Amino acid sequence: MSLKKVALAGAVAGLMGSTAFAADCGPSGKSVRILGSDFPAIQAVAGAAEANCAANAGEFTINLRDNTRDMMNQALTPNPAEYTSVIVANSTLTQLMNDDLVRPLDEYVAKYGQHLKPSQLITIGGKVMAVAFMANSQHLYSRTDILEQAGVEGIPATVEEIVAAAEKIRAAGIMEHPIVMNMKVGWNVGEIFNLFFFANGGELFKPGSAEPNVNSPEGIAALGTIKSLLEYSHPDHLSHASNETQGLWEAGKAAMAVMWGSRGGAVLDDEGSSDEVTSNTVLSAAPTAGGGSTPAATLWWDGVTVAKNIPDEDAEATFAALVSGLTSDLMEEHNDKAIWLIDGFQAGPAAAGVSATAAAGAKPYPMIPFINLMHNALGSELVDFYKGDESAEDALADVEAAYRTAAKEAGFLQ
């Protein structure tokens, strides 16, 4: 532990009573092997675990990379598994639980997790399956200087206001395509549909079953909402994911964007953009649509799990190491890297959008075993509609047919 950390820990000890556990790394000489996505908040969490507990462990490795979801099931299937912990989000926890690859954490939480808030515990069927440490969601980014220049008052709160503002910006000749959003074919197209489907009051599945429910008035309304935004978005939108939209934003080529909250820190920092852009960028709640009150967003959390197919003592050491990092000194050091769920978090400007979206009642991304199949069907079958080759009804009927085919193969439908 560095001197700074010791000092911080001492300062916080009186308030939190948690630091006694921060140094408790569980059984010594065990193997801790962490897999996670590569972004700043996870680097911070894994780094803190390593700093606290690497000396106590026999082996301590961290592998942070892109597209972990493509290989995490394969990595955890053998016994012993390739990693002792995977850092997951809502959808990837479902993916691991579908194949029974993670273990319940209740006994470890009782032993090492007194400093965790109850809301950080992801409990499924009464068992703790993951410990969340940060939240994320999509929300609105606006350029106040451009809105002002076009004569728009305040920050738009609904899709209709965004479209009206975009029309004013276009009419004033400031920008031809003022809106950007992540519309890359595949996962992103599916996710954008989810946002506006939920905002229009839709449910993806018929209650209590795996039967699809997207070819509905809410589905058609959602597609109409999205199309109205695409009128004003960059012509290449079907190839834009987070890196492209963030790039356009930082280059000052957009006035309103629906982007991830986790990009907020990177957009507002002093790298990759001009002062004109960063000082006028405001993060606010995701818009509502069609007169509803639910924001067009899905709420996500990121959290730690422990693999099932590993020795019990490795599992205990892994859990102890990871939660030892989830303390307020981690947060103080990395405040702007995430919307932390850790006790005592103060939301800065980079977290304002996610906080406002969650407060306005956005829905969490569903943790249903067949959600990935629906998400993929949406991501591939809606493209014809966005390209203008197909009607909304036909596209949604195609989604349902494609989902049924996959769900039958996966054993969810007969």
Partner 1 sequence: MKHRTFFWFILPTLSAMVLFIALPIVSVFIQSLFVQHEQVLVVSESCGPFGCVEETQVDTEATAKLREERPLGQFNGLATYFDRSHLASAEIAEVWRTSTGLPSFIDGIMDLKFYKALVFTLTYTFVVTPLVLIFGLAVAVGVNNLPKAFRGVAIFISLLPFLVATIVGSMILSWMVDGEGIIGATLQNIFNDPSLSIKASTPLMWIMLMVYGVWHTLPFAFITFYAGLQTVPQDTLEAARVDGANKWQTMISVVVPHLMPLVSFVTLMLLMDNFRVFEPLVSFQAEAHAQSLSTFIVSDLREAGNPLYASAGATSMLTILGVVILLTPVLIRTWRDFNAKVH
- Nearer CB in complex with partner 1: 268/399: 399
- Nearer CB in complex with partner 1: 80/369: 369
- Neighbour tally for 251: CB within 10 Å: 12
- Neighbour tally for 92: CB within 10 Å: 21
> Least distance from C-beta 387 to partner 1, angstroms?
7
> Least distance from C-beta 132 to partner 1, angstroms?
5
- Nearer CB in complex with partner 1: 282/367: 367
Residue type, position 296, single letter: A
> Least distance from C-beta 412 to partner 1, angstroms?
5
- Nearer CB in complex with partner 1: 139/184: 184
Cα 328 off chain centre by: 21
Q: Please give the backbone phi and psi of residue 151, each rounded to the nearest 5 degrees, phi first.
A: 80, 25
Cα 175 to Cα 148, 179, 197, 229, 273: the distances in Å are 13, 9, 28, 14, 18
> Least distance from C-beta 154 to partner 1, angstroms?
27
With a CB cutoff of 8 Å and minimum separation 6, the contacts of 107 are none
Q: What is the secondary structure of 306-328 as a DSSP string?
A: -BSSS-HHHHHHHHHHHHHT-SH
- Nearer CB in complex with partner 1: 78/126: 126
> Least distance from C-beta 273 to partner 1, angstroms?
15
Look up tokens 């470890």; give the residue: 108
> Least distance from C-beta 372 to partner 1, angstroms?
4
> Least distance from C-beta 377 to partner 1, angstroms?
10
The continuous run of DSSP H or E covering 171 comes out as helix 159-171
With a CB cutoff of 8 Å and minimum separation 6, the contacts of 13 are 19, 20
Question: Which own/partner pairs from 226-229 qualify as long-range (CB within 8 Å, at least 24 positions apart)?
Answer: 226/192, 226/193, 226/196, 226/386, 227/385, 227/386, 228/159, 228/163, 229/159, 229/162, 229/163, 229/166, 229/179, 229/181, 229/258
- Nearer CB in complex with partner 1: 105/155: 105
- Nearer CB in complex with partner 1: 26/303: 303
